[in-house]
C-alpha cells in the first residue's frame, strides 16, 4: 500500500506539471496563431516567436517548448544552422535531482525579410530505454514590414508682410521731425526696393522685387520713411506694398503711430524701469553692429542674450556680474558659433535678479 500511495502521488505530480505546461503551450501557440507547424515533432508541444508578430526591423527568435518521455532530461544542443534550419538534441533521463518533465530552447534567427518563412526543425531524442530517434518537422510563419514612413515635413512658416513698425525718435513729439521705420517679410528671398515714397500725410508706397543672391535666404525688408513734423495724437497711414515677380500685386496695409506732447511733468522714470536700465540700441536697424548700455545703481549677476522672433537664443552677449554704473555692450550680428545671423527682427534681453527686460532691434542684409 505504501508503494501504491507513492506511485499515485508521483502520477498526480506529473499530471499537475503536464497541465501547467499545456497552459504555457496554449498561450504561446495562441500568440503565434498566424504560424503553422508541420511534420513529426513528437516531443514538441508549442512554440513562440519574438517579436510577435515578427517584423523586418527587429531580430526574430524562435522558442520551442516540449516534454521528455521520462521524468526529466536535458537539452544537450540547440543551434541555428541558418535562418531556415535549426536542430535540437535532447537526452531523456529516468532519474534526476528534480523531476522536471518539460524543456524549452531558443533559436536566434536574426533579421528576416518581409514575407513567409519556413524553418526546418531537426529534433534528436536520446532515450535511456531505447535507441536514438530523429524527428523532423517545420514551422511556417510570416514576417511583417515594420517600415514607418516619416510624417511629411511641416509647411514653411509664413511671416507677415509687415512685421514691425517703430519711430525715430521714440516716442515722437510734435517738436522734433520724425521717421517711420517699417519692416517685414516677402514671399521671395533677397528683396530689394525700387520705389519708396511718402505720397501725402496718410499714404505711403514701396515696391519690392527679388534681388540677386544674398548672404542669407530670409526675405526680410525694412524701409525708413521721413515724415517730418507731425501733430500730436494718433496717426493711421495706408502703406501700399507692391510685390514684383512672376506677377505684380499690391497690398494695402495700415500702419500707425502715436505722437505725444507730455507736459505733465511726471519726472524721470523710476531707477529700475526699462527706459532707465536697458537703453535702446544704436543704430537700429543696423548692418554689422548695434550698441546699447545697461545702467545700474546696484550691481549684480546678469545675463544678456539675443533671441530671434521664434524665441530661439541666437547669441549670448554677456554672462557674469555687472558693476554699478553704466556698462556698454554690443551685438556684432553673429551667432554663438561665429556665423552671421540672417536679416530679420531680433530681441536683446536682460535677465537680472529674477526680472527680464527686452528691446527689439532689426538686422539688415549686408
Are 316 and 255 part of one and the same domain?
no
Are 238 and 355 part of one and the same domain?
no
Q: What is the pLDDT of residue 3?
A: 41
321, 353 contact by CB (below 8 A): no
Instruction: Render 135-159 in DSSP notation, one character per residue.
Output: EEEEEEEEEB----PPPPPPPPP--
Instruction: Render 177-209 in DSSP notation, one character per residue.
Output: -EEEEEEEE-SSSSEEEEEEEEEETTEEEEEEE
Are 122 and 168 part of one and the same domain?
no
Are 228 and 282 part of one and the same domain?
no
Which pairing describes strands 203-210 and 191-200: parallel, antiparallel, or unpaired? antiparallel
Name the stretches of the chain with pLDDT < 70: 1-34, 97-100, 214-218, 262-275
State the pTM of this model.
0.42
Q: What is the pLDDT of residue 226?
A: 93
Q: What is the pLDDT of residue 84?
A: 94
Name the CA dihedral angle for 305, 306, 308, 312, rounded to a multiple of 10 degrees: -20
How many Cα atoms occupy the beta-carbon half-sphere of 95 within 13 Å? 0
Q: What is the pLDDT of residue 218?
A: 67
Are 48 and 96 part of one and the same domain?
yes
Residue 319 located in a structural domain: yes
Q: What is the pLDDT of residue 274?
A: 52
63, 141 contact by CB (below 8 A): no
CA angle 338, 341, 346 (to 5 degrees): 125
Q: What is the pLDDT of residue 99?
A: 60
Are 238 and 211 part of one and the same domain?
yes
| Domain termination site, one of 85, 113, 143 | 143
Q: What is the pLDDT of residue 34?
A: 62
Are 137 and 31 part of one and the same domain?
yes
Domain that holds residue 42: 2-143
Overall number of domains in the chain: 3
Among the listed residues 50, 44, 49, 83, the one whose alpha carbon sits nearest the alpha carbon of residue 65: 44
Q: What is the pLDDT of residue 146?
A: 83
Q: What is the pLDDT of residue 24?
A: 39
Q: What is the pLDDT of residue 194?
A: 85
Residue 317 located in a structural domain: yes
Are 239 and 306 part of one and the same domain?
no
289, 330 contact by CB (below 8 A): yes
Q: What is the pLDDT of residue 97?
A: 64
Q: What is the pLDDT of residue 273?
A: 52
Amino acid at each position: 500500500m505504501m508503494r501504491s500511495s507513492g506511485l499515485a502521488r508521483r502520477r498526480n505530480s506529473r499530471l499537475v506539471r503536464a497541465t501547467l505546461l499545456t497552459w504555457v503551450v496554449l498561450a504561446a501557440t495562441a500568440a503565434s496563431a498566424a504560424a503553422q507547424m508541420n511534420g513529426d515533432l513528437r516531443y514538441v508541444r508549442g512554440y513562440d516567436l519574438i517579436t510577435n508578430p515578427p517584423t523586418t526591423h527587429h531580430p526574430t527568435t524562435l522558442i520551442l517548448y516540449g516534454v521528455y518521455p521520462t521524468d526529466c532530461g536535458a537539452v544537450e544542443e540547440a543551434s541555428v544552422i541558418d535562418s531556415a534550419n535549426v536542430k535540437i538534441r535532447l537526452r531523456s533521463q529516468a532519474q534526476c535531482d528534480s523531476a522536471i518533465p518539460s524543456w524549452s530552447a531558443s533559436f536566434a534567427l536574426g533579421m528576416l525579410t518581409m514575407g513567409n518563412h519556413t524553418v526546418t526543425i531537426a529534433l534528436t531524442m536520446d532515450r535511456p530505454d531505447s535507441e536514438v530517434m530523429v524527428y523532423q518537422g517545420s514551422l511556417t510563419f510570416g514576417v511583417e514590414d515594420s517600415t514607418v514612413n516619416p510624417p511629411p515635413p511641416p509647411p514653411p512658416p509664413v511671416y507677415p508682410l509687415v512685421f514691425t513698425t517703430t519711430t525715430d525718435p521714440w516716442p515722437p513729439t510734435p517738436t522734433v521731425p520724425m521717421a517711420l521705420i517699417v519692416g517685414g517679410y516677402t514671399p521671395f528671398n533677397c528683396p530689394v526696393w525700387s520705389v519708396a515714397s511718402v505720397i501725402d500725410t496718410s499714404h505711403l508706397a514701396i515696391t519690392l522685387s527679388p534681388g540677386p543672391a544674398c548672404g542669407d535666404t530670409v526675405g526680410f525688408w525694412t524701409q525708413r520713411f521721413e515724415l517730418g513734423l507731425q501733430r500730436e495724437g494718433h496717426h493711421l497711414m495706408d502703406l501700399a506694398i507692391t510685390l514684383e515677380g512672376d506677377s505684380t500685386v499690391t497690398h494695402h496695409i495700415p500702419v500707425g503711430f502715436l505722437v505725444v506732447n507730455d507736459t505733465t511733468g511726471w519726472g524721470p522714470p523710476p531707477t529700475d524701469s526699462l527706459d532707465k536700465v536697458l537703453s535702446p540700441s544704436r543704430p537700429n536697424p543696423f548692418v554689422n553692429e548695434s550698441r546699447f548700455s545697461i545702467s545700474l545703481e546696484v550691481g549684480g549677476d546678469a545675463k544678456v542674450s539675443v533671441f530671434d522672433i521664434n524665441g530661439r537664443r541666437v547669441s549670448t552677449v554677456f554672462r557674469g556680474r555687472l558693476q554699478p554704473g553704466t556698462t556698454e555692450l554690443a551685438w556684432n550680428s553673429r551667432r554663438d558659433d561665429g556665423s552671421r545671423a540672417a536679416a530679420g527682427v531680433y530681441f536683446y534681453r536682460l535677465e537680472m535678479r529674477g526680472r527680464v527686460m527686452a528691446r527689439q532691434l532689426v538686422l539688415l542684409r549686408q
